[in-house]
Amino acid sequence: MILRCSSLPLYATCPAAAQPTTLPFKSGGDAADLGSAVHDVVVKRIIGQRGPDDLADAADRYGVEIEELSRLVYLSWRRWEEMAEFFPSPKTVDLNDDPWRFVDKPAGVELTGHPDIYSLCGNEVRLLDLKTGRLDTSAEQQLRGYAFLAVHRFEVDAVYACALHSRQGIVEGWRWDTADLLQWWTELKKEIKFAAYNPGRQCCYCPRATVCPAHSRLVQFSIASLTEGIPSLPEDPQKRGRILAEVLDRAKLVESACQMAREAVRAEVAAAGGRLETDDGRELVLSQRTKTEIDFGLGEEILRQAVGDLSECVKVSKTEVEKAVKAKAPRGAKMQAAEKLIAQLGEAGALRETVYDVLDIKRKVEKDGRKQLAKKGD
């Protein structure tokens, strides 16, 4: 069995998720591609291998918007500058040369993975991992895996590991000695071998969710509990918050299950040729619908003759306008050109802002993980 450090947060929460599955599943996505591009650029800059057009090259290679990439690289670099003094002679792992792995033959388990940056400081190794996403999942287990690999690779006595959250400006840090990590590995192996199910909000991201009996039962329970409405709430604010967070977790889980069900039905109907009869006089039909849009550039004159004032008919996308302005601006001045235009529109009163609420659950974290460092880099 091969365990990837990046999946350890999931396995630590639900050990059964580590069991192999032959089902294909989609991984990654736009956010993952953007994160990979940021890692590529920032890590190469840290180790002194910055290319002349590294942003443009990474944007093309990963298929992401260069402006968003540039913003996250800037934020990541600021976080790195705060930590650079603690990482003398920073290095990264060459996967083609010597990837990090540990094989536990008696247990039949192999652990693989690597941090973005590492630095040897006497009898300690320091690890750093960039995080460009949200704070909803702790990186502690992932970094424990890297730390475990590091103590076997470098034969050090202690490991300091930190996660740099670029968007939030937060550094989470942990310190473990060799005994801590060996105990962690022993317990993890036992949990993985026992493969206990522990369904929860992590099921939304688990590749085994569609074949997991515990996930199915949790979805059924969540649906039943949601149909009963929100239970009576205690007066204590924190207890009220916990119950409401559980309700929201269940709602998200049901939404995820509904989406998977729709996709599964769509795939079956498509495989049947787009039409599948039922035994109760109905049929499932996969049909195409046509959505008609007006090309404003080609139809503007006709529209003005017919309508006159088009201000109530035309909606201008701020995002698309920014893209168009950036496309015309020279490299290095794209962001400034867009910001200038938005400022001009603001002065003209042409911008309308809509404030709306977003309900989510956020993890409380220690904002400065540097205090786990006993001393600065040697």
Q: Is the pLDDT of residue 295 over 50?
A: yes
For 176, counting Cβ atoms within 10 Å of its Cβ (0-12 exposed, 13-18 middle, 19+ buried), the class is buried
Residues in the chain: 378
The CA distances from residue 360 to 57, 134, 150, 355, 357, in Å, are 35, 11, 36, 16, 10
| Distance (Å, whole) CA 324 – CA 331 | 14
Q: Band of the pLDDT at 378, cuts 50, 70, 90?
A: very low
Our CA angle for 161, 162, 167, nearest 5°, is 165
pTM (two decimals): 0.69
Topology annotation, domain 2-198+365-372: Lambda Exonuclease; Chain A (3.90.320)
DSSP readout, 350-378?
A: -----------------SBGGGG-SS---
Burial of residue 329 (number of CB atoms within 10 Å: 0-12, 13-18, 19+): middle
Nearest CA to 130 out of 14, 17, 45, 30 is that of: 45
| Residue intervals in the chain for CATH 3.90.320 | 2-198+365-372
Under the banding of pLDDT at 50, 70 and 90, the label for residue 377 is very low
pLDDT (tens digit per residue) in 160-171: 999 888 888 888
Q: How far apart are the first and last CA of the chain?
A: 39
Cα(234)–Cα(257) distance, rounded to whole angstroms? Answer: 30
Nearest by Cα to 370 from 126, 121, 207:
126
Query: What mean pLDDT, rounded, does the chain reach?
Result: 82
Kindly state the helix (H) or strand (E) to which residue 33 belongs, with its residue range.
Answer: helix 30-46
pLDDT tier at 262 (50, 70, 90 boundaries)?
A: confident
Phi, psi of 109 (to 5 degrees): -125, 140
358's tokens: 């977003």
How confident is the model over 299-356, as pLDDT tens digits?
Answer: 989 989 998 888 888 888 888 888 888 888 887 777 788 889 999 998 998 888 888 7
CA 61 to chain centre: 19
Higher pLDDT, residue 353 or 202: 353
Q: Would you say residue 30 has pLDDT above 70?
A: no
